[in-house]
Structure formats: C-alpha cells, structure tokens
Amino acid sequence: MSKGKAIRMDEKELEKAREYIKSLRNPNCKEDDVFFQAMEEVLLSIAPLYLSDPKYQANAIVQRLVVPDRIFKFKVEWLDRNNKIQVNTGYRVQFNNALGPYKGGLRFHPTVNEGVLKFLGFEQILKNALTGLPIGGAKGGSDFDPKGKTDFEVMSFCSAFMRELHKYIGPRIDVPAGDIGVGAREIGYLFGEYKKITSAYEGVLTGKPFFFGGSLMRPEATGYGVVYFTEKMLEIENKEPLKEKVCTVSGSGNVALHAIEKLYQLGALPVTCSDSKGTVYDPRGVDLELLKELKFVKRVSLQEYSKKHPEAKYIPVSDYPKGGHAAWHIPCYAAFPCATQNELTETDAKALVKNGCVSVTEGANMPSTPEAIHYFQKSGICFGPAKAANAGGVAVSALEMSQNAQMMRWSFEKVDAELKTIMEHICTNVAQTAEEYGVKGNYVDGANIAGFKRVADAMIAEGI
Ligand code: NDP
C-alpha cells in the first residue's frame, strides 16, 4: 500500500465486519460483552492493514485469531480457616502461541469469568507481540476473592488451584504471572505447590519473589513502563515532559503504586489514587510510603489515608460524579487509569479535556470505554492504549524467563535499562506504524496494527 494513506472501511464493509463479529457471539452470554468490546476495537482498527494485503484474508487470520486455542475450566476445592470446604472455579485461557509459549497473568477476583479472561487473553496476544519478545498470549484466574482472607486461606486456595493448573503449564508451554489479586505472595504459594507436585524447579511462573528466582524490577515494571511510555509519547508529539506536572492516577495496587513512584522520580506531582471504595485527592502529592503501608502491609481501605492526612480529600464512590470517577474530574496535565476495565467513561473524558489534560495513558487493561477513547482522539490529546503502554510487566516477565533459563541474575539497573529501551521502542514502533498506515497520532490503531501484523505473519509462516 502507499505509505501514509489510510485504507478505511466504507459503510458496507464496516457493516459486514460488524455482522461477522456478531455472528461469532452467543447473544445470551452477557459474560462475553467485554471480550467483544475488545475484539471489535481491534478488528475495526486493523482494517488499513487487513484490506491492503490479501494474504491475511486468504489465510483466514481474523477467524483464527479470535478463537482461543483452548480454555481450561476447573473446580478448585480448598479448606478455609474453620476447616470448611469452599469451592471456586479456576480458568486458563491459552489463546495463541504463534510467537512463543503462552504468557499472561492470573487474576483472582469475584468478577472473573470466562468472558473477562477471553478479553484479557485476546489483548495479551497483541500486547506480547508489541514487546518484540518471543511470547504468546494467555490469561487465567479464578472468582476467588483474596480480600479478607488469612494467609493460610490464600495458601490453601493457591495450592488447590495449582493442583489443577499444573497439568496445563510448563516453562516452554505456558508461563503464568500475576494480575489483580495475584502478587508475590500468591505467586510464591503457587510456585511452591507446582514444585511439590512436579519436583521440578523451573521457570514456570514469573513475578516470583527475588530470593527464589524472580527478576529484580518485576513488581515495578508495569507502572514504571507506563510512565516511560508516556514520556516518549509526549516527546514524539512535541509536548512538554512530565517534570513538575500535576498527574492523576487511579488504583492503589501494583501498577498504580509504581506509576506514582516513577512519576515522583521524574519530578512530577501525582495527586490522586483510588481503590474500589473511593478516591484520595492529596494536592501536595500522594504519600507513597503511607499508600504502600495501607495497601501492601495492612491491606485496608484508602479511607484510612485521611487519618494521617486529614487535609487530603477522601471521596467515597457514592460521591463520584454521575457516570464517572472522581479522579478524572481533578485538573491535571497527564492522567493514568491504573485500576480496572471501563473505569474512565465519556463523562470523565470530557472533564479531563475541559480541564486541560494533555495526555492519558492506560496502566490498567482497557480502563477507558470506547466512547471515552473516541472523545480523546477527537480532541487531539495524546492517548496511550493499554496494550502498548502497560506491556512493561510482561516484558520484564519475559526477561525473568530468560534469567531463569540461563540460571542468571541481572541487576536492577540492567533490567530497568532494558525496560526503558523496550517501552521507548514500543512507543516509537506504534507511532511509526500509525503514520505508515495513514493514521498519524492514533496510538490505538498503531498498536493494533503493529501487534496484529507480527502475530499474523507468524501464523501464516507456521501454517495450520
Ligand atoms: P492490584 O490487585 O494490585 O490492584 C488493583 C487496584 O484496582 C486496587 O486498587 C483495587 O482496589 C482496584 N480495583 C480492582 N477492581 C476494581 C473495581 N471493580 N472497581 C474499582 N477499583 C477496582 O492489581 P494490579 O495493579 O496488578 O492491576 C491493575 C490493572 O493493571 C488491571 O487491569 C491489570 O489487568 C492491569 N495490569 C497489571 C499488570 C501487572 O503487572 N500487575 C500488567 C499489565 C496490566 P481494592 O484495593 O479496593 O481492591
């Protein structure tokens, strides 16, 4: 195709594409809503590539890419603190391994179901492709809720979960990592059980604590990576860097916390964080040490933040703006949604733009609704989509796999430098791809096209 010229679908082709996507779904399965939301975004945005090169249609790449290779669904029976048997459901969606072993996190949260994991697994294929590393796409988890559970209960659940999961994973087959509700503690218990069952001490999980094979920098990687990506995006788009700029962040988990940490390191001022119950707005900057203590040591609600800082504002969910999230209504230069999917709506997008926000970068997976993304793009602000911007975590996971395979340990500085290079490379690649396919400045299309192309070309080369 001629460079710089977008091939857009005409109305007839768009209708055909939508009909095709509709034909894939069972209308009674509400669980799949979020999966189809992600799929539709990708399929419509890869049109400039798909329509310009007949080999993708000839090899039925779309039809093959949107169906997972396999889905495992299993029962997890475990003992609670009162020796009572509890039952949950576990899943592993192995989506695509054209580029390498299946790779993607495990999520433990009551909202987990097959549809959510299909959405996350599908996104993971393209995200992993964007890193340039040899990793395929997968996702897994359970509807188990670690909140309020004792350490013993979390261990009991993780052991039971692994008694099933171990049948499907391996260092060259499928290498899970953490996600919401699965941090170093859970990965430790999962790894311990895997080792007991198989007697193999191998890199079957990433995100392990450092003292038994984890990579330095893995906990920091996603949050740091989001900020590295943003700095590069601002540079490419000729905008001022983050230094001395007010930033808003949602979430208070692994991704949010490390995004906040990196923002401070760059001299920016992150003024918000949130959890599922409410948002903290601290105009002097979020107290990072307190945040770590509340969320990672005490594991309590952010409401506690005000006890130490009564001058900071705590906004409970019940007081959020109608149809929106409190964090996005506070004026900022750059916004970082880092909690969960669909947490930034069109109402929020309008408030951000109105208040002078210049850039939005997604730390969480699909935190912005399609309407919000559309509004950002229409308004011309820089928008870094999750599958490119939050790929730092999986990239360092892949570096952990390399270190495990070589029985080597890399220094914090080495991993951090690799991460920065990878994130800048992803950002540049996405920006250049967007320009090449006639959608300059559109990082959503750029990321979808660049990721899709790498996976699709491998699928074609590997045959059926
Ligand atoms: P954590 O479990 O560490 O933290 C999740 C945060 O989001 C918590 O503050 C939690 O609040 C909040 N949250 C969760 N569900 C909801 C909800 N339904 N409504 C409002 N707030 C909610 O997860 P991570 O930080 O690891 O992950 C955050 C996001 O980043 C997810 O979308 C994840 O898929 C994505 N991601 C994570 C990566 C990683 O390396 N960890 C890699 C790439 C993407 P509370 O404390 O009240 O539960």
Q: How far apart are CA 461 and CA 274, in angstroms?
A: 45
Q: What is the pLDDT of residues 235-264, one digit of tens each?
A: 999 999 999 999 999 999 999 999 999 999
Q: What are the C-alpha distances in Å from 443 to residues 14, 46, 67, 125, 422?
A: 21, 12, 25, 17, 16
pLDDT of residue 428: 98
CA nearest ligand 1 atom 42, residue? 393
Q: Cα 436 vs. chain centroid, distance in angstroms?
A: 26
Q: Can you list the pairs that 211-217 forms with residues at least 24 positions away whose Cβ atoms lie under 8 Å?
A: 212/188, 213/400, 213/403, 213/404, 214/184, 214/187, 214/400, 215/396, 215/397, 215/399, 215/400, 215/403, 215/410, 215/415, 216/409, 216/410, 216/411, 216/412, 216/415, 217/396, 217/412, 217/415, 217/416, 217/419
Model confidence at 39: pLDDT above 50? yes
Q: How confident is the model at residue 201 (pLDDT cuts 50, 70, 90)?
A: very high
Q: In this predicted model, which residue has the larger pLDDT, 36 or 236? A: 236
* Matching residue, tokens 């929020």: 348
Strand, helix or coil at 431?
Answer: helix
Q: How confident is the model at residue 21 (pLDDT cuts 50, 70, 90)?
A: confident
103 contacts 124 by C-beta, under 8 angstroms: yes
Model confidence at 231: pLDDT above 80? yes
105 CA → ligand 1 middle, Å: 12
364 CA → ligand 1 middle, Å: 7
106 CA → ligand 1 middle, Å: 12
- Work out the number of other CB atoms within 10 angstroms of the CB of residue 41: 19
79 contacts 86 by C-beta, under 8 angstroms: yes
pLDDT of residue 8: 67
Q: How many CA atoms lie within 13 A of 394 on its CB side?
A: 38
> Under the phi-then-psi rule, with left for phi > 0, alpha for psi from -120 to 50, and beta for the rest, what region is 403?
alpha
CA nearest ligand 1 atom 23, residue? 180
Q: How far apart are CA 49 and CA 55, in angstroms?
A: 10
430 CA → ligand 1 middle, Å: 25
Q: How confident is the model at residue 1 (pLDDT cuts 50, 70, 90)?
A: very low
The domains located in the chain, with CATH, are 11-65 (no CATH), 70-204 (3.40.50.10860), 220-389 (3.40.50.720)
Q: How confident is the model at residue 3 (pLDDT cuts 50, 70, 90)?
A: low
Q: In what order do the strands lie in the sheet with 137-142?
A: 70-79, 85-96, 137-142, 102-108, 174-177
* Matching residue, tokens 């709506």: 345
Q: What is the pLDDT of residues 264-305, one digit of tens each?
A: 999 999 999 999 999 999 999 999 999 999 998 998 999 999
Model confidence at 7: pLDDT above 80? no
pLDDT of residue 16: 78
* Matching residue, tokens 């601290």: 282
Q: How far apart are CA 418 and CA 397, in angstroms?
A: 12
CA nearest ligand 1 atom 27, residue? 180
Model confidence at 142: pLDDT above 90? yes
First to last CA, the chain: 27
pLDDT of residue 119: 94
Active-site residue, selected from the candidate residues 139, 295, 350, 387: 139
Q: What are the C-alpha distances in Å from 155 to residues 148, 150, 200, 206?
A: 13, 9, 20, 18
The partner residues of 250 in beta bridges, in order of sequence, read 337
Residue 341 alpha carbon, nearest atom of ligand 1: 32
pLDDT of residue 278: 97
Q: Which of 119, 125, 96, 99 is nearest to 107 (CA)?
A: 119
Residues 6+ apart with CB under 8 A from 135: 99, 100, 101, 103, 128, 175, 394, 397, 398, 401
- The pair phi, psi for residue 384, each rounded to 5°, is -100, 110
Residue 109 alpha carbon, nearest atom of ligand 1: 15
Q: Which of 289, 269, 292 is nearest to 281 (CA)?
A: 269
pLDDT of residue 13: 76
Q: How confident is the model at residue 6 (pLDDT cuts 50, 70, 90)?
A: low
Share of the chain above pLDDT 70, in %: 98
Average pLDDT over residues 137-146: 98
Best residue among 255, 302, 305, 390 to mutate for probing ligand 1's pocket (most ligand atoms within 8 Å of CB) is 255
Model confidence at 4: pLDDT above 60? no
Strand, helix or coil at 325?
Answer: coil
- The pair phi, psi for residue 250, each rounded to 5°, is -110, 160
274 contacts 327 by C-beta, under 8 angstroms: yes
Average pLDDT over residues 197-215: 94
Annotation marks residue 127 as catalytic = no
Model confidence at 222: pLDDT above 90? yes
Amino acid in the structure at residue 309: H
142 CA → ligand 1 middle, Å: 15
- Ligand 1: lining residues by beta carbon, under 6 Å: 178-181, 222, 251-256, 275-277, 338-340, 363-365, 390, 393
CA nearest ligand 1 atom 40, residue? 393
Q: What is the pLDDT of residues 407-441, one digit of tens each?
A: 899 999 999 999 999 999 999 999 999 999 999 99
pLDDT of residue 346: 98
Q: What is the pLDDT of residues 61-119, one digit of tens each?
A: 999 999 999 999 999 999 999 999 999 999 999 999 999 999 999 999 999 999 999 99
Best residue among 179, 341, 419 to mutate for probing ligand 1's pocket (most ligand atoms within 8 Å of CB) is 179
Averaged confidence pLDDT in the chain: 94
Model confidence at 372: pLDDT above 50? yes
Residue 366 alpha carbon, nearest atom of ligand 1: 32
87 CA → ligand 1 middle, Å: 24
Best residue among 131, 149, 180 to mutate for probing ligand 1's pocket (most ligand atoms within 8 Å of CB) is 180
CA nearest ligand 1 atom 20, residue? 276
Q: How confident is the model at residue 2 (pLDDT cuts 50, 70, 90)?
A: very low
